[in-house]
């Protein structure tokens, strides 16, 4: 895997746990760390997007217009389930 070399400091227990996991998964330390960071960054990105959407849609009413609700229920009643 080509990429940027980075030096980081980890608490000893975290390092030991990562070493154990890498061996168990038969992955290199670099691969384990790269996957872990990619997953963390992806999760943070998803959380930020969710927060933005919640903020935007939290200001809007989520109630359904009574006429639309009635029309939907009428149509569903005629469907063969």
- Least confident residue range of 8-12, 33-37, 52-56: 52-56
**pLDDT for the residue numbered 48:** 87
| 25: Cβ contacts below 8 Å, ≥ 6 apart | 32
Over range 14-21, report the average pLDDT. Answer: 97
Mean of all residue pLDDT scores within the chain: 90
Question: In this structure, which long-range contacts are made by residues 29-34, counting pairs with CB atoms below 8 Å and at least 24 apart in sequence?
Answer: 30/1, 31/1, 34/1, 34/3
**pLDDT for the residue numbered 29:** 95
Q: Does 81 score more than 80 pLDDT?
A: no
């Amino acid at each position: 895997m080509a990429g940027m070399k980075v030096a980081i400091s980890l608490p000893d227990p975290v390092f030991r746990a990562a070493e154990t996991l890498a061996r168990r998964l038969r992955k290199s330390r670099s691969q384990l760390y790269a996957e872990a960071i990619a997953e963390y960054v992806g999760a943070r990105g998803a959380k930020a997007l969710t927060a933005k959407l919640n903020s935007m849609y939290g200001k809007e009413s989520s109630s359904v217009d009574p006429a639309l609700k009635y029309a939907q229920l009428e149509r569903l009643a005629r469907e063969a389930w």
